[in-house]
Amino acid sequence: MVFALVGLVVLALLGAVHRYLWRRFVGDTTAPGSPLRRAGTVAAFVLPLLSVGAMTSGRVGAPFWLQQVLAWPGFLWLACLLYLTLALLVGEVVRPVLLRVLARRDGAIQGAGARAVPEPATAGPAEESGTGTGTPADVPDGTRPRAEELVPSHSAGASARSEAAGRTATEPVTESVTEPATEPERERETEPTAGPLATSATAPATTLAPGPSRRLFVSRVVGGAAAAAGLATVGYGTYGVLRGPSVRRITVPLAKLPRAAHGFRIAVVSDIHIGPILGRAHTRRIVDTINATSPDLVAVVGDLVDGSVADLGSAAEPLSALRARHGSFFVTGNHEYFSGAGQWVDHVRELGLHPLENARVEIEGFDLAGVNDIAGETEGQGPDFGRALGDRDRGRAAVLLAHQPVVIHDAVEHGVDLQLSGHTHGGQLWPGNLLAELANPTVAGLERYGDTQLFVSRGAGAWGPPVRVGAPSDITVVELASRQA
């Protein structure tokens, strides 16, 4: 019941976010009925369906080829959805500012145009002659018009009306029906005449953009900038994952480590996530990167795969090429229990890795222990710290492999000196690190809890979207240092 409610909430949230994206990217920027609007509307329905298919196809046992078809577009769209939404939210702050700036600019242009128009000339009393005829006083007598030519306009109008009245008395009245003007005709009728007054009347229309046009311009600018920023972020994050993990190196001093083990190097790799997107080539890149560091020991700390041995066994085969003086060791992560943990434990053993299922081995100068992931508790195969660490000599240094950082408190109780973990991906997609901090004591890096140090790797792969933003993938070489050296 709880999972059903959570699922409904998630679907409702996805629907609301997609509606918002459609409005800003499609509804506000395209004309009704246009090909672009139709294409954007279709995408708003198809893309979320692909994402749901990508997330559920593996769980419902869909054919692996179908999982691969759905995974790339479905998971990539989830990353695009996140960063397009974040970019649009930033755009909501910019939008009103840009509208206000454009409105002020148009107002300034309109005001400047109005001031540039000259006032129409009118005859003043000072320009009229003493005769009251309106003739300028300084006009020579020879050029003055005759008296009969100086008929006031209202007198001319009266004469015209008298003539019209005379005609109506002798001629029949003919009624005329005026046809309604067409649109082009209306435009011509309302077209201003040439001259200074016409320029003044038309100036505002040519300098001040109508409100809807200004809003359309701003919507397209903000939408285009948001699309460019969001898609560029996803593109760069995808490139980082497909390029492969980088190598980090840290030195961890252990008080109980003997001088003979000083400088012991452990290559820590977690969250490889072999699956429908990251396959055999991804595994090969990781193996080559690890071997290039020439480690003394390789620690694979869980979440190796996202799928069954039948589908992904061949993609994991490059792990057989790992080379380390003291061998390679493996512990389960939560994703192994979604994919058949027992079969994967057997398969990695066949590839030459040593699974540590609540077990411990003695290495040169320290004890190496490993516990199952807490997700195995649903199958009766959860972590057993007593079995892995209970009867050991606490005078020796102990290094623990455990997928999830949350078991650090059990490690402290059992006298572990160093715990190596993964699981968090460092947040993988910013601001996912903020959520990861709520669920994990350490998201990435090295921290101390009492006498125990905890190192959390960001991981070498990616789950879901093959994208990392703000949390680059890595393989870390942990060099143990003896304080006696």
pLDDT of residue 130: 44
DSSP 469: B
| 59: Cα separation from own chain's centroid | 26
| 388: Cα separation from own chain's centroid | 43
pLDDT of residue 285: 97
List pLDDT tens digits, range 289-299: 999 999 999 99
Residue found by looking up tokens 């398969």 in the block = 347
pLDDT above 60: residue 329: yes
List pLDDT tens digits, range 143-188: 444 444 444 444 434 344 444 334 433 343 333 333 434 333 333 3
Q: Report which of residues 225 and 125 the model is more confident about.
A: 225
Q: Which amino acid is it at 436?
A: A
Contacts of 479 (CB under 8 A, 6+ apart): 249, 250, 251, 252, 263, 264, 265, 266
pLDDT of residue 190: 37
List pLDDT tens digits, range 31-81: 999 999 999 999 999 999 999 999 999 888 899 999 999 999 999 999 999
pLDDT of residue 212: 60
Mean pLDDT, rounded, of the chain: 84
List pLDDT tens digits, range 229-270: 999 999 999 999 999 999 999 999 999 999 999 999 999 999
Q: Using CA atoms, how far apart are residues 48 and 31, in angstroms rounded to an integer?
A: 24
Q: Would you say 356 and 331 are in contact if contact means Cβ atoms under 8 Å apart? A: yes
pLDDT of residue 370: 98
User: Mean pLDDT across the stretch 349-363?
Assistant: 97
Q: Is the pTM of this model over 0.85?
A: no
pLDDT of residue 181: 40
User: Mean pLDDT across the stretch 116-122?
Assistant: 56
pLDDT above 60: residue 195: no
* Among the ranges given (129-138, 272-281, 380-389), the one the predictor scored with the smallest mean pLDDT: 129-138
pLDDT above 80: residue 361: yes
pLDDT above 60: residue 141: no
pLDDT of residue 166: 41
pLDDT above 90: residue 400: yes
User: Mean pLDDT across the stretch 91-118?
Assistant: 81
pLDDT of residue 120: 56
> For 139, phi and psi rounded to 5 degrees?
-80, 130
Q: How confident is the model at residue 121 (pLDDT cuts 50, 70, 90)?
A: low
DSSP 417: S
Q: Report which of residues 209 and 454 the model is more confident about.
A: 454
Contacts of 68 (CB under 8 A, 6+ apart): 276, 277
Peptide bond into 253 cis (omega under 30): no
pLDDT of residue 82: 97
List pLDDT tens digits, range 300-325: 999 999 999 999 999 999 999 999 99
User: Mean pLDDT across the stretch 371-384?
Assistant: 95
Q: How confident is the model at residue 6 (pLDDT cuts 50, 70, 90)?
A: confident
Apex CA 449: angle with CA 445 and CA 453, to 5°? 50
3-state secondary structure 140-181: CHHHCCCHHHCCCHHHHHHHHHHHHHHHHHHCCCCCCCCCCC
Q: Which amino acid is it at 241?
A: V
Count of C-beta atoms within a 10 Å radius of residue 44: 17
Percentage of residues of the chain with pLDDT beyond 70? 79
pLDDT above 50: residue 472: yes
pLDDT of residue 143: 41
Q: How confident is the model at residue 109 (pLDDT cuts 50, 70, 90)?
A: confident
Tokens of residue 416, six digits: 């572990």
* Among the ranges given (176-190, 287-301, 370-384, 408-422), the one the predictor scored with the smallest mean pLDDT: 176-190
* Among the ranges given (125-134, 222-231, 303-312), the one the predictor scored with the smallest mean pLDDT: 125-134
pLDDT above 90: residue 104: no
pLDDT of residue 118: 58
Q: Residue 446 burial by CB count (10 A; 0-12/13-18/19+): exposed, middle or buried?
A: middle
pLDDT of residue 124: 46
Q: How confident is the model at residue 10 (pLDDT cuts 50, 70, 90)?
A: confident
Residue found by looking up tokens 């369906």 in the block = 49
